[in-house]
Structure 1
Amino acid sequence: MKKILLLIVSGLLIACMAGSAMASPFTPELYYKTSTGEYIGIGSSIDLKPGNSVSVYLGGWSFSSISLGNDYTWVADVSYASTSNPSDVSIDLPTTAFNPPTSPEFSSTSPYIHPDPIIISLDSSVGEGATYTVSVGAQYGDASAIIDQGIASRDLTAIPEFPTIAAPIAGIIGLLFIFGRKKEGL
């Protein structure tokens, strides 16, 4: 009985130690860069006109102390609704590694932000209202042991071009004008 109890306790200790060595994700965030060079956090979605692109920047905090100062590998993925096609969205990742320095200490108010943009493009043939989920992030470690990782996901929605909205509105106003003139008898 003592041996079984000792075996169970040893197994639990090993499981606890292995759990603490597994990936503890850093907190990722996506940012826009303003014309003045300031970074502004992106909300829950990105609205993009078909045929256009947007530059976003990956940042984060709460990095694993083991991985600071090392090169992280970029990761990206596009998931989509059944009416969309994943090839409608392209993600161009930076050529330089995501490499959070060892100092200063990063926080939500002072995150590390990679200086090179991630370019997200939407194909010009996409219909309005098509939705996708774009996930971009970085991870440190190899396939057998990811030490640190963070992936930020945002919904991407294709918004209509101005003429798509303006033409029906102009038509309705024109009809109202014509019918209004008929009532006046002019």
Structure 2
Amino acid sequence: MNRVAIYTISLFLLFINQAISQNYNDLKEINSQIWNKFSKSFETVDYQLFESLHSDDLIRVNGGDYKSIRNKEAYLEGYKNRWSNQALRQSISFRFLERVCKDGMASERGIYKFIINPGSENQKLYYGVFHVILRKEDNLWKILIDYDSSENESINEIEILYKEAFALDDFDRNIKKSG
């Protein structure tokens, strides 16, 4: 093989490796700055932490049976009121169908599982689909657009999808899907 071909192949592999590394780094940052804090805010009923994850330009959309569209202030007001009860016990977790990120922008689609009174006999379980658009603002990832739907509470179908979707830290599976 001639030197030009070896050089070209080497550069190609270097650029692919750099693109994959950047994607891994972005996904790790998003996990740390958004999803881990999002879950923690639910578990600790921490309104200020939850509020800090959202862009001032937030657009929040509810689909399915609960159709609405709101700005940040109107959306977060509901959480502020609901989370004033510090005895509230809840958790939320996420699995992903698709994660795409580049140049300080990201689109993440998946399924969430929301549990009220986890581990108790009064436990209530809810599933839904979500799609968020994130952007970096002052070097931090923020939720810019947040859509979710309970899919008209078709829990059994969504539960199966939830188990089949990939985990928060399953970067290899995500990279293979997004190429």
The TM-score with structure 1 as length reference comes to 0.33
Select the structure with the greater relative contact order (CA < 8 A; seq sep ≥ 6).
Answer: 1
Structure number with the higher helix fraction is 2
Structure showing greater Rg = 1
The TM-score with structure 2 as length reference comes to 0.33
